[in-house]
Structure 1
Amino acid sequence: MSTLREKILNTATDLFQTRGINSTGVDTIVAVAGTTKMTLYKHFVSKENLILEVLEKGHQDFQSWLSEKLNSNTKKPSEKLQKLFEFIEEWVTSPDFHGMGFIKASAEFPNEECPVHQLSSEQSRQFRQYISSLASEANIQDADGLALQLSLLFEGAVQAEQMKRGSGAMKYAKKAAKILIDGAIKA
């Protein structure tokens, strides 16, 4: 990736997180990145394409970070599942947290036919599938059911933290997740 392309992508990421996607125009992105529209469109064929790449990168970065944290802190599948919300809480309470891209984007692009909404929905499904695979590895009988419950807790708590930092939502989501995970492990 060229450094100018990277700069545009990073600038767009920062602006989308802090100002919103629809509130951030191409003019603002190029002004803050110190480039031109022509250069932006050389690297990204449209604003929509740029949004999709920002979402992809954010999702991949989060998934890689979370997987690395889980894999480097424990090898036992049930412990990975139990530590999941501990690490998510660490992420949500970090100063760099500005919300979850797919949650924000789905709210700004509610039309299910829109590629941004479709990608957001797919990323939500992928995260739920990730939790389901952790649950399956831990021999949870209803891995998909537990994954749906935990992803609802995750998405709700992240939304609450996006709306008001320090809301305590993640702390309570972590407690609820522990009850659900402990119950599923015992079943």
Structure 2
Amino acid sequence: MRPTKRDELVQQALQAFYRNGFQATGMDMLAAETGISKTSMYKHFRTKEDLILAVLRLRDEHFRNWLYRRMEELAETPRQQLIAMFDALEEWFAEPGYRGCMFIKASSEYQDTSHPIHKQSAEHKRMLEIHITDLARKAELRDADAIARQLLLLKEGAMVTAHLGHTANPAQDAKAAAIQLIEAHRQ
């Protein structure tokens, strides 16, 4: 199916917001970068914030689908998939355009926890936690809820550290800690 103008706008806006940030990317900049007029943008989205929400929904779908698929491709068992999450992250960090987590950025720029953009970012993290908790249960780890939260803290820390660029391989550092955590929680 051919993408609509709206779909193209969301995809191009995703790239612009990821590269430049949400507050720094105005509608004039978006029009210049996408080649889509502001009039056309406002036909599809009432406000810039509505466009940002659509971008975050698209990024959430793409990221979670990619991450879950890579974890399954890299490992067979749920326990191995939890560890493989860090190998997948290492691949992402090595991409030339890596600029950190779009959801961390969005929640930093829209800090009011009741703001829809902040809520959408938190929802992305909640969906990841549900999936990781499910894998931890399938791996028969003790206190699956706690281990999932701890693994996600390692994941988030690795993403921020990779973005800051002050260590050689934060994904593998986080993976080493994850292995110790998982081993400590085996039944």
TM over 0.5, yes or no?
Answer: yes
Segments of structure 2 that go 5 or more residues without pairing to the other structure are: none
Task: Show CA shifts across 1:94-130 (max 9, x none).
Answer: 2232221111111111111110001111111111111
Paired position in structure 2 for 1:65: 66
Distance in 2 of aligned mates of 1:2 and 1:65: 20
Q: Distance in 2 between matches of 1:62 and 1:52?
A: 15
Question: 2:29: which partner in 1?
Answer: 28
Gaps (5+ residues) in structure 1? Answer: none
Equivalent residues of 2:87, 2:171 under 8 A apart = no
The residue type equivalent to 1:136 in the other structure is R
- Shift of the 165–26 alpha-carbon distance from structure 1 to 2, 3 Å rule, reads farther
Instruction: Note the 1:62-141 alignment, pairs <5 A.
Output: 62-141=63-142
Helix, strand or coil at the partner of 1:32 = helix
RMSD: 1.8
Q: Name the counterpart of 2:54.
A: 53
Distance of 1:79 and 1:35 partners within structure 2: 45
* Residue identity in the other structure for 2:47: S
**Structure 1 stretch 77-86 or stretch 55-64: which is displaced more?**
77-86
Matched-pair contact (CA < 8 Å) for 1:154–1:173 = yes
Identity of aligned residues (%): 35
Kindly indicate whether the alpha-carbon contact (under 8 Å) linking 1:132 and 1:143 is maintained by their aligned counterparts in 2.
yes
The CA deviation at 1:24 is 0.4
Q: Amino acid of the residue matched to residue 27 of structure 2?
A: V
Change beyond 3 A, Cα 1:70–1:168:
closer
Residue 166 of structure 1: CA displacement?
A: 5.9
Letter in 1 for 2:68: S
Rate the CA distance shift 1:46–1:166 in 2: closer, same or farther, 3 A: farther
CA distance in 2, matches of 1:12, 1:166: 30
**Please, what TM-score do these two structures have when normalized by structure 1?**
0.91
